[in-house]
Structure 1
Amino acid sequence: MNEIRMQTKLSPAQVEADVRRALEEDVGSGDLTASLVPAEQRATATIICREAAVICGQPWVDEVLRQVAPDAQANWLVQDGERCSPGSKIVEISGQARALLTAERLCLNFLQTLSAVATKTAQYVAAVAGTRAAILDTRKTIPGLRVAEKYAVRCGGGKNHRMGLYDAVLIKENHIAAAGGLTAAFRAAQALTQPVDFIQVEVETLGQLREALDAGVTMVLLDNMPLQTIREAVKMAGERCSLEISGGVGLQTLRELAETGVDRISVGALIKDIKAVDFSMRFADKPVERG
């Protein structure tokens, strides 16, 4: 039976590109305010997390420093995927004061966003603990930051659904309508010349599920089905296919949904409905001696 594949490696090239875009947006031709600080001045700064969170963003912070402050030294006190309590020191950084000032907001932006995704994912993962259901993300991501946000989902204990339109087939409502029916769309997917080991079909009714099973579909997405219908779908499918739930999933009903016996629950809110985690960078009161 097909399974959702989990991306395990983070591409340094992707992280570099994310940071390069962020620098172009924020720094542009130069940091005017940081230029007020003497060029030879050095400093030590600490990034602090102001609330309980699952930390995520180290590769992006390290890359910001590499591009902006290549001589800076970072000592990470909390690693990606680890929990911290309010007031925790996350990383201590020493280097050229101007460069650290320029890097400050970008480092915090990556940390506050990615840690928010990781923290929310961890809440959902904890809610289904002990069931067979895995928590997955969706493609509802900030344009240009999908790799980063899906990495954050993994740091929170979740799994990744497809990365994009290129690495899997997900036959949804509009595909079925445009292709002339569920079975026709599935047969077309099976006939693709490009090798595809991930073909999933979305269904909205038990009748569609029955058609999918008869067609030999092994991965089915139950879209916005009521709880009792999901229970009936699990009984109908048995071990003939894996079942995933999507649509309107929240923490209040998550446990009950997981206990129906589905294999996966995909949650758009892991990424698109987050509240940034509160981080701050504080420079040491006593400046480091100028070099």
Structure 2
Amino acid sequence: MQLQTRTLQKLLDDSLKEDYGIKGDITSDAVINSGTQVKFAINARQNLVLCGIQIAQYYFNEYSSIKYQIHHTDSEIVQKNTAIISGSGLAKELLLLERIILNYMQHLSGIATTTSSYVELVKETKAKIFDTRKTTPMLRQLQKYAVTCGGGYNHRLSLDSGILIKDNHIAICGGITKALQRAKQYSPHYTRIEIECDTLEQVKESLLSGADIIMLDNMSPEQIHEAVKLIDNRAIIEASGNVSLNTVKSIAEAGVDVISVGRITHSSTSVDIGLDII
């Protein structure tokens, strides 16, 4: 992740402005002397896969004079009751940044931790865990980065990242064959064409029409196994739809190449990370 990009910097700046309000932290202004110095630690309060260190660095560097030390980096497994960052500085500066830093780190580390759980379950298979476009508006770049910290991979970043023909495209276009023919006429030679299939008959038609990637949507492990035999290495196989920690292993064992999981970005629970004065 490149925090130097203007878009991401603006997101972080705007996030702090939202929390700052008009007058800033009036509570700290009311009860803490301006020159008060403190020592602090940002601690993991549960086992987790870390993501968001660069965001903490950005806020400390751009909005404070706080001196800090980083003990763990993104993608590392951090054990409960372990310091992630420690340091010292002005109490008012620290309290101004505390919540915005923790919000990002808790959310992104939650995604990384959940992704890691899926990756662990399929590690004995050839399947790789991918995310989807089911992300929070304006947070996609960060959420997809968190997926990679957890050992997963990124699917399309945006609509122009690849051609993925889904059920509504097929319905509007008038069928799989017609949709694939039009996609091939439109796409550059280096662009792979993926098509979503709900049935084995659609899989057969997609193969005959020359799809590069076939997405098996909401199929049972038994149906997926049949589709894998039918495709017989003639296309990359992706499984998607209602994938959970309870089903991902059986889906992977059916022989697919890719498993896309929307819930790793849209439903991951934030992990418990806290800032303590020491």
TM-score band w.r.t. shorter chain = over 0.9
Task: Say which SS state the counterpart of residue 140 (structure 1) adopts.
Answer: coil
Listed one character per residue, the Cα deviations across residues 77-132 of structure 1 (whole Å, up to 9, x for unaligned) are 11111111111111013222211110000111011100000000000000001211
In structure 2, distance between residues paired with 1:66 and 1:168: 37
Match of 1:12 in 2: 4
Equivalent residue number for residue 26 of structure 1: 19
TM-align CA RMSD = 1.5
Identity of aligned residues (%): 37
* Residue 110 (structure 1) aligned with residue 104 (structure 2): yes
SS at match of 2:160: coil
Question: How many aligned positions are there?
Answer: 275
1:135 corresponds to: 129
Residues 118 and 152 in structure 1, CA contact (< 8 A), matched pair in contact too: yes
The 5 A counterparts of 1:77-156 are 77-156=71-150
CA–CA distance in 2 between the matches of 1:208 and 1:10?
A: 41
Q: Normalising by structure 1, report the TM-score.
A: 0.90
Cα separation, 2, equivalents of 1:93 and 1:163: 36
Higher relative contact order (CA 8 A, sep 6+): 1
Aligned AA (1:141): T
Partner residue, 1:43: 38
- Is this contact kept in 2: 1:201–1:217, CA < 8 A? yes
196 and 96 in structure 1: CA distance in 2 versus 1, 3 angstrom threshold: farther
Residue correspondence of structure 1 range 1-291 to structure 2 within 5 A: 9-13=1-5, 14-29=7-22, 30-36=24-30, 37-69=32-64, 71-192=65-186, 197-284=191-278
Question: Which segments of 5 or more consecutive residues in structure 1 lack a partner in the other structure?
Answer: 1-8, 285-291
Give 1:191 deviation, angstroms. 2.2
In structure 1, how many angstroms separate the alpha carbons of the residues matched to 2:178 and 2:216?
A: 19
Deviation at 1:28, TM superposition (A): 2.2
The CA deviation at 1:11 is: 4.6
Q: Scaled by the length of structure 2, what TM-score is found?
A: 0.94
Query: Can you give the 5+ residue segments of structure 2 that lack an aligned partner in the other structure?
Result: none
**Which 4+ runs in 1 deviate beyond 3 A?**
193-196
Query: Structure 2: which amino acid aligns with 1:25?
Result: E
- Structure 2 distance, partners of 1:126, 1:104, is 32
Q: Sort the Cα spacing of 1:148 and 1:195 in 2 relative to 1 into closer, same or farther, 3 A.
A: farther
Worse-matched range after superposition: 140-149 or 88-97: 88-97
